[in-house]
Amino acid sequence: MALDIHTLRLDFPALAQSVNGHPLVYLDNAATTQKPQGVLDALNHYYQSQNANVHRAAHALSGQATHAFEAARSKVARFIHAPDAKHIIWTRGTTEAINLVAYSFGMHSLKAGDEILLSTLEHHANIVPWQQVAAATGAIIKVIPLTEHAELDLTAAAALFSTRTRLLAISQVSNALGVINPIKELIALAKQVGALTLVDGAQAVGHFPVDVQALDCDFYVFSGHKMFGPTGIGVLYGKRALLEQMPPWQTGGEMIRQVSFEHTSFGELPFKFEAGTPNIAGAIGLGAAIDYLSGLDRSILAEHEQSLLQQLLAGLTAMPDVHIIGRPAAGAVSFIIDDVHPQDLATLLDMQGIAVRTGHHCAMPLMQALGLSQGTIRASLAFYNTADDIAALLAGIDKAREFF
C-alpha cells in the first residue's frame, strides 16, 4: 500500500502554517509531536459536551466522562499489549511515571549497597530520580558506558550486573542520538541476577509498536505528547504483582477506599496511584491519538521514516564539515558543524521556517562523555515529515554554512 503522506499531513493543522515567511518545516518531534485533528476534536468534545469529574458521581455527564476516561485506559493497554487496564497508571508524563516508581518502589525497597544500573544515554528524567533514591537509601548507581560508536557497550554492561543489582532503568531509544538500545538483551541480563527493569519508552511508542509482555519488562513509561497526543498526560505500565506491593506515592482524593482520622485504606489498582482529579481531557486525547495511529499501517509509516532518516544521513555525510553523532536508527539525528555554535545554526534555520533543537537535550552526562560541551543540533522526525522537509533542512544547512 502506498503512503499518501501529503493527505496525512492535512490531519495536522499546525503543519499548514508559515514561520518567518516560509512554510513550516517541523523537525523537533523528539521534543513534542504535532496533534491530528481527531485529538483536537476529542479534547474539544470533552470540554464542550462531557465536562465533569470522573468516578462516583451519579449524573449523566460524569458517567459519560468516566466511560471515555476508562475507555482510553483500555486503549493504552491494548496499544502496548498489557494484560489488562489495571496495569495502566495515568501520570503527567514519562518524568512523573519514573518518579512514581523511584519513590514508591525505590525509596521503600532499596537499601544501602543495592545497585541501580543506568546508561550513559539516559535522559535526566531517568537519572535524577535515581540519584535522589540513592542518596536517601545508600544504594549505588552504576552506569553502562558507550562504545566508540556512541552505543551501549553490552560486554561492559554484562560485567556490571551482580547479585546486588536491584534495578535496571534504561531508555528504549535515545532522545539525543536516535540510538535504539538492545533492551531485550539487557532485560535478559537483569533477570539472570533477579533485578527489576524499567524501560523509558518515550521515544519509542510513536515510532514503532511496543509489546510489554514480549519485552517482559517490569515497568514501562511514556508520554502522550511525543506520540501525537496532548501534553500533561503519560503512562506507567507495571506488572500487577509489583504495583500491588508498592505503596501509594501521592495521597488524597480519588485514590482512597475509606478515610477516618484514625486510619485510611487505599483503593484498588489502578486508582491507588491516581490521587486527585486526573487529567481527564488528556487521557481522552491520548485515547484519540491511539485511535489515529491504530487506523494507520504502522509498518508503512516506519518504512517512510527510515527513508527520511537515510536521506538526512546521506545529505549530512556529504558535507565535510558536518559530523553526525553516533549511528542514528530511529527518530532523531544529532550533528555538529566545525566552528559553528549549534544555537547560531538553529537561529538561521528558524529564519527559514525550519524547526530543530539544540543543546544538551536533557542528556548532559551523555554530552560530557562525548566531549560536546555545546551540545548538538538535533533534527527529529515523525511520519508526517516529507522528503521535501529533509531537502529544505539540508539546503538550509548549506546556506548557513556559506554564511559562517
Distance (Å, whole) CA 100 – CA 129:
9
DSSP annotation string for 117-155: EEETT--GGGTHHHHHHHHHH--EEEEE-B-TTSSB-HH
CB-count burial class (<10 Å; 0-12, 13-18, 19+) for 18: exposed
pLDDT of 350 = 97
Query: What pLDDT shows up at residue 2?
Result: 62
* DSSP E strand boundaries for 178-320: 196-200, 219-223, 234-238, 256-259, 264-266
Write down the catalytic residue from 24, 362, 364, 369.
Answer: 362
At residue 96's C-alpha, the angle toward residues 92 and 98, to 5°, is 140
Q: What is the dihedral of CA 15, 19, 25, 29, to 10 degrees?
A: -70
Q: How far apart are CA 341 and CA 332, in angstroms?
A: 19
What is the structure's pLDDT at 260?
83
CA distances from 205 to 115, 173, 212, 293 (A): 28, 10, 11, 10
DSSP string for 51-68: -S--SS--SHHHHHHHHH
Q: Which residues pair with 377 in a beta bridge?
A: 335, 358
Hey, which residues does 235 pair with through a beta bridge?
Answer: 90, 222
pLDDT of residue 393: 98
Q: Which set of grid coordinates corresponds to residue 70?
A: 476508562
Using DSSP, state whether 102 is helix, strand or coil: helix
Whether 217 sits among the annotated catalytic residues: the reply is no
Looking at the DSSP assignment, which residues form a beta bridge with residue 14? none
Using the structure block, give the residue that is written with the C-alpha cell 495536522. 12
Among 152, 28, 124, 174, CA closest to 364: 124
Contact (CB, 8 A) for 271 and 249: no
CA 74 to chain centre: 19
CB atoms within 10 A of CB 247: 13
**Distance between CA atoms of 42 and 279, rounded to whole angstroms?**
13
Pairing state of beta strands 115-119 and 165-171?
parallel
The helix/strand/coil state of 378 is strand
> Rounded to 10 degrees, what is the CA torsion of 90, 186, 126, 96?
10
User: What is the β-pairing status of strands 22-23 and 18-19?
Assistant: antiparallel
* 54, 125, 158, 182, 231 from 283: Cα distances, Å: 12, 21, 38, 30, 10
Angle between helices 280-294 and 37-45 in degrees, nearest 10 = 150
Q: Look up cell 501525537; give the residue.
A: 228
Domains annotated on the chain, with CATH:
5-30+297-403 (3.90.1150.10), 41-294 (3.40.640.10)
* Cβ neighbours for 201, distance < 8 A, ≥ 6 positions apart: 80, 94, 171, 172, 173, 210, 220, 221, 222
- Give the pLDDT means over successive 10-residue stretches in the chain (404 positions): 85 97 98 98 98 91 96 98 98 98 97 98 98 98 97 98 98 98 98 98 97 98 98 98 94 83 87 94 98 96 97 97 97 96 96 97 97 97 97 96 83
Nearest to 70 by CA among 291, 280, 292: 280
